[in-house]
Chain A
Amino acid sequence: MKTKTLRALSLGAGLALVTVCPVMAQPNFTKYVALGDSYGAGYSAGCLVARNQQFSYPNILAKQFGISDFQQPTVSDPGLPVCTGLTSLVPVTFGPISTTKVGAPTNALLARSYDNLSIPGAKAGDVSDVKSSADPPSGTCAACGSLALADVVLRGRGSMLTQALSLNPTFITLGIIGNDLLTAVGAAFLLDGVTATPLPVFTTKYNAVAAALKASGRTGVFLGSPEGLNFAPLTTAIKPVVTDATGTPVLVGGSTIPLLGPGNAKYPCPAGVTACPLPAGTIVTLGANAPQAALAGKSLLGVGFGIRCDVAALPQCGKPLPDGGFVPPTTVNVGVLLYPDEVAAIDQRTKDMNAVIKAAADANGFKYFDFYAFAQDFEANGRTFGGITITKNFVTGGAFAFGNAIHMSNIGYSILADELIKFINSAYGTDVPRPDMSEALFTSDVAAAGTTGIGGTTDTSLFFDEEAWKGFFREFPLQDASLKLAFPGDTEVPDRAPVVLPGRRGARD
């Protein structure tokens, strides 16, 4: 009896120790598969192309894991779709690097699924639901969109999730980091079912993917969403005040001059006033600076919207910049203003989505990478390597791609990969070597001679042209294909009345 008691106590103590001191799952990097979106794909200057794909964070991670056979859906120059390049600094002008050629897949004959299955534009639901660029049929899935590059990645072999599981990975990354919300930033208003995936839908879809990825002996990292509103040029390149040609704020009496907006429910203009100063904390998106055909090739700011007439006597001075809104039944008025309450709502949604991602990671044996915190730190401090400083600054900072409002450059993706490796080492107690940043820092990101066909007419556009603006919504589509976009230049700008229906709009509304 005494012996039995001692055995029982010993067993109990042992179990208690196991309970109190769980053994950290050691990752096995022999088979790594990446599921993700454009960031995972290495999508950079508006395109998928091998010279950027080699710097995708999954590819860098695989290299640092010691994997020699990490396969990606590589594309030749000038990219799919055709990549953007900087054509002039004075004025800052971007354009396609080719008007006569288009890139083609160079690894399409691979007899198995790619190890990097990231599809630009993918939302949470797309990981399991999308099997081709035409799938699902328009308007049938609130969480899904038309992913133009899905066929390049999936090749009819099934969904991202199905193919990932078929590879039986020992380590995975799941990087669905913001497409479920980015459309709200681009359209300048958050409305569930219109510009954002409703949180319950996102939660259901994400949890299902996470649960499907769970397997004994499999470890990995789920990436959260970055602190997007102060991270990417889309929302940081334009100041909400009047600036001169160099982007320097104009001062009158020592003070900056706020741009004008129409106000909203939280920040209304005074009665009878149609344009009033933007409150502090308002974000003006790059769309305000996009030349539009309807404006004779000039931008909203260029013709005076949002600018007081006593500051600049432009044709449309004194009128407000447009705010985004939804006009039932199907019209989405794209705006360029995010008032502070909208900024707060989008930020809160980002945090809510990240909470879902973290819970899913915790529940299924994966680690959660806090991209939100990394983005905040990068915004504040940039990164310096041997005296070379990289910042988020548009065009000159180095972290973001040519003229791209959202996507990173080779340097930016390498920094992200470095952060991920540091995180993996910290989270798992591993010693994965950090990547060689000099490869991205000193590799010229231009197409090889003869691959672009440059020599024809190149499009010239300032910062973010109308085509790029509209292209944004092709990459980050509305929640329902029946919805129709209305750009400021398409209508009587900005006299349209933005109407935003309260609450969530379901996919079938």
Chain B
Amino acid sequence: MARPLRVRFRSVSVPLAILFFLAAVPAFPSGFQLNTQGARAMGMGLAFTAVANDPSAIFFNPAGLGWQKHFEAEFGSSLITKTQGDFTGENPYPGIGNTEKEHKTTFVVPTLYVVAPLTSEINLGLGIFSPYGLGFRWDNAEDCGGDCATGPVKSTSFSGRFIAQNAVIQSVDLNPVLSFQATPAIAIAIGADYRVSKVQLERNQAAINPFTNSAVDVAHIKLNSELTDNHGWGWNAGILVRPIPQLSFGAAYRSKIKVDYDGTAKFAQRKTGNAQFDGIVATQLPQGSHPVTTSIEFPGSLNLGAAVTLPGQLTVSGEADWTEWTKFQSLDIIFPDLTGRDLHRQTEWNNSWAYRVGLEKKFSNFAVRAGYYRDKTPQPVEDAGPILADNDRDAYTLGFGYDTERWGVDVSDLYLKFKRLDTAGRSHDNFFGQYKESANIFAFSLRVSF
């Protein structure tokens, strides 16, 4: 009789390398999908499914490994900087005149890809990357003028603090793949995708102070899951067809992965200054840590692309990416030992498409790249709020590469400009306002070949 999966994989200690990757994962989301998994691809606007000519093909289209005939390793990283995250409130809540700022943080998202030829037709690859992540923290999330355990929370604190002050999804994928070059023109690949993940959510709880008939902060709630307890399995596959060397078509699929999270919830009381009311709150507030569970079904995705190399070593690529975000219909947070505290949030996301184009011009060992994509948000306006406020975005990229037979280096930069999001009259949280966001991502990768 087979042992339960959880036990088997708990017995496999998570490599320290993964902890490194996880520690640096919080990221600027696309939905909360993160596709900037290679500097070369990013320079071409992530239109890389039909190109896939470096080890990052493990992420973009593993069939691309079919043409890679050497042992290669690529290490890289993206540095994501939220250059702007402003919120302007509207009536009825939090009200005209209210302004908030997303916390400016630089996130580091490392990647590691290794390719090892097994035969002249079969390659083995291993990728470690973070395809999903979310880091949404707000400035002035809670201001108590010092110690929040003793001092009341000021009304000037972040107005969305009763929905979320900090929302984090972290994930790391271990993705072994096998590619097979079936003919000189066709390669296929398949892989297994093992994902570890953790989530964190912090918010304050409001109550009506019956002595003043006004809303006050009575508790801070922090939900947190551990990395090693939460994982899921999926698979990926790809095909790359090059009928002639100058022309290629690619398709890559990555399956959905469901991760069930077990974590803890900690409740910390926030004093209001009224001893009677605080005493009543204390009797009703769960003490200490309590188990909490939730699950996220990360969506499957299908990328379809084509690339053509024109005379003068100018490559033009384009693709359309589909992501099955309808798998993310709700967020349910369950407190098994507490009654009346379960949270059910209707998310009702839609499937989304992204359209990308990229250019690469080679000059001997050098290459310059440029790209553009438009990414449609899967998040309905009604779901947008302090946990995540996503919207359609345009991205503009530039890149530069230097290649030799034994090593190569790529750098690129991406500027993300989000369409202004207005939730007026359409927020499930009744938290209305406009979000103005932009971000910059710088990426580099270093490749060695043996």
Contacts from A to B (Cβ < 8 Å):
85-86, 88-90, 383-390, 395-398, 401-402, 409-411, 418, 433-446
What's the minimum C-beta distance from A452 to chain B, rounded to whole angstroms?
A: 14
What's the minimum C-beta distance from A192 to chain B, rounded to whole angstroms?
A: 37
Tell whether, in the assembled complex, residue A433 and residue B91 are in contact, meaning their CB atoms are under 8 Å apart.
Answer: yes
Tell whether, in the assembled complex, residue A401 and residue B91 are in contact, meaning their CB atoms are under 8 Å apart.
Answer: no
Give the residue of B162, B212, B280 whose beta carbon is less than 8 angstroms from that of A90: B280
Q: Which of B152-171 contact A (CB under 8 A)?
A: 155, 159-163
Residue B392 at the chain A interface, CB threshold 8 Å: no
| Contact sample, A vs B, 9 pairs, CB 8 Å cutoff | A89-B210, A90-B280, A385-B431, A387-B160, A387-B161, A402-B210, A411-B213, A445-B213, A446-B211
Q: Which residues of B contact A389 (CB under 8 A)?
A: 206
Give the residue of B92, B161, B208, B425 whose beta carbon is less than 8 angstroms from that of A396: B208
Residue B285 at the chain A interface, CB threshold 8 Å: no
Q: Which of B65-110 contact A (CB under 8 A)?
A: 91-96, 98
Q: Which residues of B contact A85 (CB under 8 A)?
A: 211
Known: A388-B206, A396-B208. Is A436-B91 also a contact (CB below 8 A)? yes
Shortest Cβ-Cβ A-B pairs, 10 listed: A387-B162, A436-B95, A398-B208, A385-B93, A444-B212, A445-B213, A437-B92, A388-B206, A386-B431, A438-B95
Tell whether, in the assembled complex, residue B280 and residue A89 are in contact, meaning their CB atoms are under 8 Å apart.
Answer: yes
- Rounded to whole angstroms, the CA-CA distance of A398 and B215 in the bound complex is 8
Known: A386-B160, A387-B160, A387-B163. Is A86-B95 also a contact (CB below 8 A)? no
- Rounded to whole angstroms, the CA-CA distance of A444 and B161 in the bound complex is 19
Tell whether, in the assembled complex, residue B215 and residue A442 are in contact, meaning their CB atoms are under 8 Å apart.
Answer: yes
Tell whether, in the assembled complex, residue B92 and residue A385 are in contact, meaning their CB atoms are under 8 Å apart.
Answer: yes
Tell whether, in the assembled complex, residue A388 and residue B162 are in contact, meaning their CB atoms are under 8 Å apart.
Answer: yes
Q: Which of B174-212 contact A (CB under 8 A)?
A: 203, 206-208, 210-212
Tell whether, in the assembled complex, residue A387 and residue B95 are in contact, meaning their CB atoms are under 8 Å apart.
Answer: no
Q: Which residues of B contact A418 (CB under 8 A)?
A: 92
Tell whether, in the assembled complex, residue B159 and residue A444 are in contact, meaning their CB atoms are under 8 Å apart.
Answer: no
Write the chain B residue with the least CB distance to A92: B210
Give the residue of B208, B425, B430 whose beta carbon is less than 8 angstroms from that of A386: B430
Known: A433-B91, A435-B91, A437-B92. Is A395-B215 also a contact (CB below 8 A)? no
Q: Which residues of B contact A90 (CB under 8 A)?
A: 276, 279-280
Write the chain B residue with the least CB distance to A45: B213
Residue B119 at the chain A interface, CB threshold 8 Å: no
- Rounded to whole angstroms, the CA-CA distance of A90 and B282 in the bound complex is 14
Residue B277 at the chain A interface, CB threshold 8 Å: yes
Q: Which of B201-245 contact A (CB under 8 A)?
A: 203, 206-208, 210-215
What's the minimum C-beta distance from A443 to chain B, rounded to whole angstroms?
A: 6
- Rounded to whole angstroms, the CA-CA distance of A439 and B93 in the bound complex is 9
Q: Which residues of B contact A386 (CB under 8 A)?
A: 93-94, 159-160, 162-163, 429-431
Q: Which residues of A contact B279 (CB under 8 A)?
A: 90
What's the minimum C-beta distance from B154 to chain A, rounded to whole angstroms?
A: 11
What's the minimum C-beta distance from A451 to chain B, rounded to whole angstroms?
A: 15
Q: Which residues of B contact A402 (CB under 8 A)?
A: 210, 213
Interface centre among B162, B163, B208 (most CB of A within 10 A): B208
Q: Which residues of B contact A390 (CB under 8 A)?
A: 208
* Given A433-B91, A437-B92, 15 additional A-B pairs, CB 8 A: A85-B211, A89-B280, A90-B276, A384-B430, A386-B93, A386-B159, A386-B163, A386-B429, A387-B203, A387-B431, A388-B162, A402-B210, A411-B208, A438-B159, A444-B212
Give the residue of B155, B162, B206, B211 whose beta carbon is less than 8 angstroms from that of A86: B211
Interface size (B, Cβ < 8 Å)? 31
Q: Which residues of B contact A396 (CB under 8 A)?
A: 207-208, 210
Known: A386-B431, A433-B91, A436-B95. Is A89-B215 also a contact (CB below 8 A)? no
When each residue 315-352 of chain B gets 1 if its CB lies under 8 Å from chain A and 0 otherwise, what string results? 00000000000000000000000000000000000000
Interface centre among B159, B210, B429 (most CB of A within 10 A): B210
Q: Which residues of A contact B214 (CB under 8 A)?
A: 411, 440-445
- Rounded to whole angstroms, the CA-CA distance of A360 and B19 in the bound complex is 71
Write the chain B residue with the least CB distance to A438: B95
- Rounded to whole angstroms, the CA-CA distance of A137 and B212 in the bound complex is 40
Interface centre among A88, A384, A443 (most CB of B within 10 A): A384
Tell whether, in the assembled complex, residue A442 and residue B91 are in contact, meaning their CB atoms are under 8 Å apart.
Answer: no
Tell whether, in the assembled complex, residue B93 and residue A437 are in contact, meaning their CB atoms are under 8 Å apart.
Answer: yes
- Rounded to whole angstroms, the CA-CA distance of A430 and B396 in the bound complex is 41
Tell whether, in the assembled complex, residue B93 and residue A445 are in contact, meaning their CB atoms are under 8 Å apart.
Answer: no
Q: Which of B360-399 contact A (CB under 8 A)?
A: none
- Rounded to whole angstroms, the CA-CA distance of A436 and B97 in the bound complex is 10
Q: Which residues of A contact B276 (CB under 8 A)?
A: 88-90
Tell whether, in the assembled complex, residue B91 and residue A437 are in contact, meaning their CB atoms are under 8 Å apart.
Answer: yes
Interface centre among B214, B276, B280, B430 (most CB of A within 10 A): B214
What's the minimum C-beta distance from A472 to chain B, rounded to whole angstroms?
A: 21
Q: Which residues of B contact A446 (CB under 8 A)?
A: 211-212
What's the minimum C-beta distance from B439 to chain A, rounded to whole angstroms?
A: 25
What's the minimum C-beta distance from B419 to chain A, rounded to whole angstroms?
A: 23
Tell whether, in the assembled complex, residue A388 and residue B215 are in contact, meaning their CB atoms are under 8 Å apart.
Answer: yes
Write the chain A residue with the least CB distance to B97: A436
- Rounded to whole angstroms, the CA-CA distance of A384 and B213 in the bound complex is 15
What's the minimum C-beta distance from A393 to chain B, rounded to whole angstroms?
A: 9
What's the minimum C-beta distance from A464 to chain B, rounded to whole angstroms?
A: 15
Known: A90-B276, A386-B430. Is A409-B213 also a contact (CB below 8 A)? yes
- Rounded to whole angstroms, the CA-CA distance of A385 and B155 in the bound complex is 15
Interface centre among B160, B162, B280 (most CB of A within 10 A): B162
Tell whether, in the assembled complex, residue A439 and residue B95 are in contact, meaning their CB atoms are under 8 Å apart.
Answer: yes
- Rounded to whole angstroms, the CA-CA distance of A103 and B402 in the bound complex is 82
Q: Which residues of A contact B94 (CB under 8 A)?
A: 386, 438
What's the minimum C-beta distance from B287 to chain A, rounded to whole angstroms?
A: 19
Q: Which residues of B contact A383 (CB under 8 A)?
A: 430
- Rounded to whole angstroms, the CA-CA distance of A445 and B94 in the bound complex is 19
- Rounded to whole angstroms, the CA-CA distance of A385 and B433 in the bound complex is 13
Give the residue of A385, A409, A438 whose beta carbon is less than 8 angstroms from that of B98: A438
Write the chain B residue with the least CB distance to A445: B213
- Rounded to whole angstroms, the CA-CA distance of A86 and B94 in the bound complex is 27
- Rounded to whole angstroms, the CA-CA distance of A302 and B160 in the bound complex is 44
- Rounded to whole angstroms, the CA-CA distance of A411 and B207 in the bound complex is 13
What's the minimum C-beta distance from A115 to chain B, rounded to whole angstroms?
A: 22
Q: Which residues of B contact A411 (CB under 8 A)?
A: 208, 213-214
What's the minimum C-beta distance from A122 to chain B, rounded to whole angstroms?
A: 25
Q: Which residues of B contact A86 (CB under 8 A)?
A: 210-211
- Rounded to whole angstroms, the CA-CA distance of A86 and B280 in the bound complex is 15
Tell whether, in the assembled complex, residue B95 and residue A437 are in contact, meaning their CB atoms are under 8 Å apart.
Answer: yes
Interface centre among A86, A385, A436, A440 (most CB of B within 10 A): A385
Write the chain B residue with the least CB distance to A393: B208
What's the minimum C-beta distance from A251 to chain B, rounded to whole angstroms?
A: 16
What's the minimum C-beta distance from B105 to chain A, rounded to whole angstroms?
A: 23
